[in-house]
Structure 1
Amino acid sequence: MSDLKNQIRADLKEAMKAREKERTATLRMLLAAIQTEEVSGTKHEASDADIVKLIAREIKKRNESAEVYAANGRQELADTELAEAKILADYQPKQLSDDELASLVHSAIAEAGPEAKMGPVMQLATQAAAGRVDGKRLSTAVRNALAAQ
């Protein structure tokens, strides 16, 4: 079993003992999503990298839902979604700063070559970032760096 999954299970037990309803519900949802991921398609034990990707997807879903709720005047639901996203963010690796992101993008462009296109640079940058940056933020940085060339 992966270390991250064990950590989530341990944190769930602590949240249950402390009677933190919101944290307990969020961690249960996360473990259910991990289990669904493990049994769908090819049955395999989820690695830490798989779980980090799943957490990023879940955070993105929560943020998008919060935007929709807020736009439709349902701020209490938007706040709930954002609180869940914040709990999930605790299990992501430390996010890259703007300077670190710029350095990563420039090295990906250099590796892709002088006639670098968006697709190959994004592929290299995504591999180098390894879940430490949001995809939208990464693509914006790559697009801006390529336009500046």
Structure 2
Amino acid sequence: MTLLDKLNEDMKQAMRNKEKDKLTVIRMLKAALQNEAINQGGELSADDEITVLAREMKQRRDSLSEFEKAGREDLAEKVRAEIAIVEDYSPKQLSADELEQIVKTTIEEVGATTKADFGKVMGAIMPKVKGRADGNAVNQFVKQYLS
């Protein structure tokens, strides 16, 4: 079952249960996936689907931080609920320990020793953790180990 199939099934269920907020998020995810398929001119691979979900998650996390900075708790709460729904469709996130281990291993593989190697390390790590870890968390671990 592809992600679009799962979204369609969940959308029908959300309609039956009259879950308006969940339905809205599912429709946004479905639209994002369909737009990406149109842009690529064909079916999306599982990797492409993860990329779209990661982009949607990042947009919501950015919105959440902006709303929190502005003191708009009403909007922040709505975005938190959206994030929880998007997480249901995203791959399981890596724990801090798993992420830390991947960062250590990649730094050794690349042979990085200084902060000047930061870009090289990030370029090697991000494909490994695509959709399973927040880029900011990866960034912090890499900076920690390269300093």
The corresponding residue for 1:141 is 141
Task: Report the Cα distance in structure 1 between the residues aligned to 2:113 and 2:72, rounded to whole angstroms.
Answer: 47
Verify the 8 A CA contact 2:113 2:146 in the aligned structure 1.
Answer: no
- Which secondary structure state, in structure 1, belongs to the residue aligned with residue 41 of structure 2? coil
Measure how far apart 1:115 and its partner are. 4.6
CA deviations over 1:48-70 (Å, ceiling 9, x no partner): 21121211211121122222223
Q: Which runs of 4+ in 1 moved over 6 A?
A: none
Which ranges in structure 2 are unaligned for 5 or more consecutive residues? Answer: none
The sequence identity of aligned pairs, in percent, is 37
Verify the 8 A CA contact 2:53 2:90 in the aligned structure 1.
Answer: yes
Which letter maps to 1:25? Answer: T
- CA separation of 1:70 and 1:99: change in aligned 2, threshold 3 A: closer
Greater CA drift, 136-145 or 114-123? 114-123
Measure how far apart 1:101 and its partner are. 0.9
Greater CA drift, 112-121 or 15-24? 112-121
Over the aligned positions, Cα root-mean-square deviation in angstroms equals 1.7
Which letter maps to 1:128? Answer: K
Choose which of 53, 73, 76 in structure 2 pairs with 1:75: 73
Measure how far apart 1:44 and its partner are. 2.2
- CA separation of 1:11 and 1:36: change in aligned 2, threshold 3 A: same
Verify the 8 A CA contact 1:52 1:91 in the aligned structure 2.
Answer: no
TM-score between both structures, scaled by the size of structure 2:
0.89
Which letter maps to 1:28? Answer: R
Verify the 8 A CA contact 2:112 2:121 in the aligned structure 1.
Answer: no
Measure how far apart 1:130 and its partner are. 2.7
TM-score between both structures, scaled by the size of structure 1:
0.88
CA deviations over 1:24-75 (Å, ceiling 9, x no partner): 11100110111111112x3121222112121121112112222222333322
